[in-house]
Structures are given as structure tokens and as C-alpha cells.
Homo-oligomer: A and B are copies of this chain.
Amino acid sequence: MTIRPAVAEDVPQILAFIRALAEYEREPEAVVATEADLLRDGFGPNPYYWCLIAEHDGEPAGFALCFYSYSTWLGRPGVYLEDLFVLPKFRGLGIGKALLQRVAGVALEKDCPRLGWEVLDWNTPAIEFYAAMGAEFLDTWRNVRVSGEALKRLGKLVMSTTRLQ
């Protein structure tokens, strides 16, 4: 098994992994990202994300996709693991663990004191795996999101109700 940073030529494979992960998370219709999106956002001059690819005997087996967060308490960026996935046929070989370890290694190299991510509360195998890796679960924090029409309403209100410079 080898783990290497993704390059632009991996974009079709990255999108295939993203789709397979969405299917596992029971939301196969949720992926609207295109190859062009992933190429523009991950492999331009100021990328929004970075990605590692795991290969087993030369075949793509899994991936980890991350971006940098920021901790105002620590005054340092953190690594945020958006996606971690191993194709079903390659499970049980330690590939997920190796990807997580490599992401943690990048965090240490970049002097990022925190590695964070999210897990679905019904995904018991993943939760047990993460606990065994030394992870803590920050269950007093609730995740909040504004998107779609609600975001448009919220963002546009500002034009008419406050004076901005």
C-alpha cells in the first residue's frame, strides 16, 4: 500500500470516491460537484482543499480530502478532514487507518495542533475506530448551517438594513 498526494490527473478518481462515499452515507443524489469544480478548487494557485490517495497494488483504494481550519484560541490553523473513504473491496487492510495517520502526519508537519472531522451518529464502526485512534467527541457543540434560500435571504438583507463601508 502506498499513500501519495493527489495530482490534477486524479480528479476523475477523486470524484468517483466522493460519489461512493455519498452513497455509503445514504445520500447518493447529493453530489453535484463536477470534475471542473474539483480541478479549479484543489489544483489552482490558491487551493481550497488538498487530497491524499491510497493505492493497493497500484489500484486506487481510498482517499482523504482536507482543508485548513483556524483556531482563534490556539492562534494556529488546524487540519479539517472533510472526507475519508476506503472502497469496500479494500477494507480490513488498514488503509483507512494509514490515511488518517498520514493526515495526522501532515498536521504535525504544518504545526497544526488540531485535526478535526465529523461522523454520522449511526456510524458505529467509524465511531469505534476513531475512539481507538485517540479521538475525542465534542458533543456539547451543535453544528449549524445556513444554505440555499435561507442564505440568500440572510445575505441580501444586509444591503437594505445596515449601512456598510
Contacts and interface: CB of A to CB of B under 8 A. Distances in A.
A33 B73 contact: yes
B69 A145 contact: no
A1 B161 CA distance: 11
Interface in A134-160: 134-159
A133 interface: yes
Given A134-B154, A159-B105, A146 B75 contact: no
Contacts of A161: 98, 101
B135 A146 contact: yes
Number of copies: 2
A114 to B, nearest CB: 4
Contact of A134 (B67, B104, B150): B150
A137 B94 CA distance: 33
A7 interface: no
Given A77-B41, A138-B143, A142-B121, A155 B108 contact: yes
A87 interface: no
7 closest A-B pairs (Cβ-Cβ)? Answer: A33-B75, A37-B75, A134-B150, A104-B155, A101-B158, A104-B154, A108-B155
